[in-house]
Chains A and B, each alone.
Chain A
Amino acid sequence: MHLAFDEEENAFREEIRSLLRKELPPDWRGFLHSEEGFQIARRFCRVLAERGWLTMAWPRAYGGAEASLWKQTIFREEMWANGEPRGPQYMSLNYIGPAIMKFGSEEQKRFFLPKIAAGEIQFCQGFSEPDAGTDLASLKTRAIRDGEEYVINGEKIWTSYAQHADYCYLLARTDPEAPKHRGLSLFLVPMTTPGITVRPIRSMDGYTDHINHVFFDNARVPVTARLGEENHGWYIATSSLNLERIGVARWAHAKHLLTRLVEIIGKPLPDGRRLADEPWVRQKVADLEIRYRAARLLNYRVIAQIERGEEPTWEASLARLHSVLLDQQVAAVALEILGHYGLVLGGDEANIGGGLFEEMWRKSIPATIAAGTLEIQKNLIATRGLGLPRVQG
């Protein structure tokens, strides 16, 4: 048993932190869903690419550095702690790129992988539909073979980054007769394809273009845009999910916010009172810290399993559940502690924390919805972790 990072790993973390301080704007709070945000993300990805850090997790054959899982973990922690300045690039790095490596044609590998590795292209993910969210496999968007092309018709929704992305990692139905999981295929669709329309949906995190409705109206893509075999899309889409569950280091983001909160409550309010002197505040903050310690260790335990060549299932869901709930709790508890002060969004001298926690509270709401709802994760834990029978009806 060993439960600590060593000197070298801590030094690597410091190196990342100093790069972040150097490259990001001083008032940086996290990725912005805007033209400016995407510009920053693209620039930052290129800086990472020059350092060889962008694809540190990848095999050398594809321009990666084959960094250890722990180095990758440290890197992901620092990215998420600092509001994921890579923007949507984490998807390409964590699972879209690896899926191309595993299932892509030589031509697809040659085309996409160097561009991802250089930080030149961004993907959005076309999975959810108006009538297919949690029950994703029931999705209806059709891709019908027509000679050497597929004709895509349908709509995707809640698609983050769609306005600015270059490609869509699209799951569509290629065989409507097959059982629902077996009639799906994956496509790498250029967002410039005629017939694709992106309509932004204003969201409660203040953005007008964070989430989008994407329409496919006779959008034609060549057969070579299909990733892997026809009707194997479900397998490809889900095969990298375990890494994805721990690939998003939300526990580190939560700790980052908690550290900010501790700084703020340690300073006097305008009336001279220090929130950190109030026992109930100390209790709440300590509870978050304890939950953070548990979430981090549980995620590390999954990483250690992967490193040993095991395939975690419920363990990954359980670790993720701890992380997402913690991320929500930190923001909510911070607002509870700060009261009205936390809700001032600017312009007032009592602007403690600059509305940070209010913003993070809004942003944390989808944490238990996106990429597998809390309820689905719990079902998975109960069935795979405890052997309970599948939920019926």
Chain B
Amino acid sequence: MPFDFSLSDAQELLAREAIRVIDELVPFALARQATDHGLERTRSVWQQLARLGWAGLCLAGAGAGLGATELMLVAEALGRRAAPLPFIWHNAAGRYLSGSPVAERHRGIVHALAEGTAIATIAHWEAGDRSDLPLPVTQAKLEGGRVYVRGSKRFVPFATLADYFLTSVAVEGAYGLVLLPRETVTVHPYPSTGRDGRATVTFDTCLGADFLLGTGEAGLIQDVLDFARVGLCAYATGASQAALDMTATYAKDRVIFGRPLGSFQAVQHRCADMLFDLEAGRVLTLEAAWQIDTGRPAHTAVAAACAYVGAGAQRILAHAHQIHGAIGFTFEHDLPLLSTAVKATAADLGREDVNREVVAASLGI
């Protein structure tokens, strides 16, 4: 069958398991607590997920070595609870480290990441919040078997928890990725919409040359970000799905003028529009994951998914708020957790115009 959208048995099992486990271990309360208390309380939940093998899901060697499709399945389940957990960034960073030419030299770190005793994240954005990929301002210099790294990264997710920062740098005019252990950086946390431990991370340090994990063209960094972005699309899709489920249930139960709210055509059409965007984003994400997993050039598909999901998920959440009315605006309600998670994730997916430009270029114009 040329187009077969069904998951393998193992993937089906993972998807079902992810929803079951996350329903049990990751209540919305976890995200709500993070609003006021930060991420420290999420550590024990992360440990439990790590014991299921999800900290090492996409890591080679000590991990399960699975792909973007599996990342997507777990990320979607996490999105349904607006889970403030480092799963996506951690796996994207860990996958690169564990597959890098110097992975052997960092066996201990890979092991700790796969076990969940250490957390990794990605430090990429600089002052401009650009989602195209200029050469990083942050410089790394190789000298006498050491690598000197100096600079500052912004908007780093889960920085408050992370033990390792996979950091994009420029090395003699090329793109590079260095691994910065926590003790080599200073983390300046700030509260943010996504409750995801964002911080500006600054560093001026010198490490063994094997902490420069790789150098190359822009694609080196792009591939790492694209892998993470497939997970982020799935996370936003999960949050959108949960918002739609919540909204459909509310529309069925809430009675207005003596009939269910959801029997009004204006409400039905908003709900249909939500499903319209949800399913389009879902298949685009699936395509991007499949292209990565089969070793095809996936950048255009990832950009297409990001452009659609970034905007589509926000449309879905806006409809969800409108249909819920005032109750959806309360702190006690779960909907604001989803809409803020989607807002933050959309920023991670990159500006819509930048993603569209990638697609335009793919058309040969």
Of all chain A residues, the one with the shortest Cβ separation from B265 is A391
In chain B, positions 243-283 with a C-beta closer than 8 Å to chain A are 244, 248, 251-252, 259-260, 262-265, 267-269, 271-273, 275-276, 279-281, 283
- Known A283-B353, A286-B307, A297-B284; judge A276-B365 contact (CB<8 A): yes
A262 near B272: Cβ-Cβ < 8 Å = no
B356 within 8 A of A: yes
Kindly identify which residue among A283, A285, A382 contacts B363, using a CB–CB cutoff of 8 Å. A285
B330 within 8 A of A: no
A293 near B2: Cβ-Cβ < 8 Å = no
Among B3-11, B164-172, B211-219, the one that faces the other chain is B3-11
Sort chain A's interface into a size bin.
Answer: 35 or more
Task: Mark A3-14 against chain B: 1 for CB-CB distance below 8 A, else 0.
Answer: 111100100000
A388 near B308: Cβ-Cβ < 8 Å = no
Q: Give complex CA distance A56, B330 in Å.
A: 58
Q: Give complex CA distance A167, B325 in Å.
A: 54
Sort chain B's interface into a size bin.
Answer: 35 or more
In chain A, positions 378-393 with a C-beta closer than 8 Å to chain B are 378-379, 381-383, 385-392
Nearest Cβ on chain B to A83's Cβ, whole angstroms: 22
B252 near A300: Cβ-Cβ < 8 Å = no
Task: Mark A337-380 against chain B: 1 for CB-CB distance below 8 A, else 0.
Answer: 00000000000000000000000000000000000000101110
A322 near B276: Cβ-Cβ < 8 Å = yes
Of all chain B residues, the one with the shortest Cβ separation from A1 is B290
B127 within 8 A of A: no
B69 near A392: Cβ-Cβ < 8 Å = no
B357 within 8 A of A: yes
B308 near A392: Cβ-Cβ < 8 Å = no
Nearest Cβ on chain B to A376's Cβ, whole angstroms: 10
Among A184-192, A234-242, A246-254, A301-309, the one that faces the other chain is A301-309
B287 near A379: Cβ-Cβ < 8 Å = no
Nearest Cβ on chain A to B34's Cβ, whole angstroms: 30
Task: Mark B233-245 against chain A: 1 for CB-CB distance below 8 A, else 0.
Answer: 0000000000010
Q: Give complex CA distance A328, B239 in Å.
A: 30
Kindly identify which residue among B69, B265, B290 contacts A379, using a CB–CB cutoff of 8 Å. B265
A-side contacts of B365, CB under 8 Å: 262, 265-266, 276, 282, 285
Residues in B lying within 8 Å of A, measured CB to CB? 1-8, 11, 69, 244, 248, 251-252, 259-260, 262-265, 267-269, 271-273, 275-276, 279-281, 283-284, 286-287, 290-291, 301, 304, 307-308, 353, 356-360, 362-365
Those 8 A-B pairs whose CB atoms lie nearest each other, nearest first? A382-B268, A286-B356, A294-B280, A378-B272, A388-B262, A297-B283, A282-B360, A276-B365
Residues in A lying within 8 Å of B, measured CB to CB? 1-6, 9, 70, 262, 265-266, 276, 279, 282-283, 285-287, 289-291, 293-295, 297-298, 300-301, 303-304, 307-308, 314-315, 318, 321-322, 375, 377-379, 381-383, 385-392
Contacts A265-B365, A304-B3, A382-B271 supplied; 20 other A-B pairs, CB < 8 Å: A2-B290, A3-B5, A3-B291, A4-B3, A5-B3, A276-B365, A286-B363, A293-B301, A297-B284, A297-B287, A298-B280, A322-B276, A378-B269, A378-B272, A378-B273, A382-B275, A386-B271, A387-B252, A388-B262, A388-B271
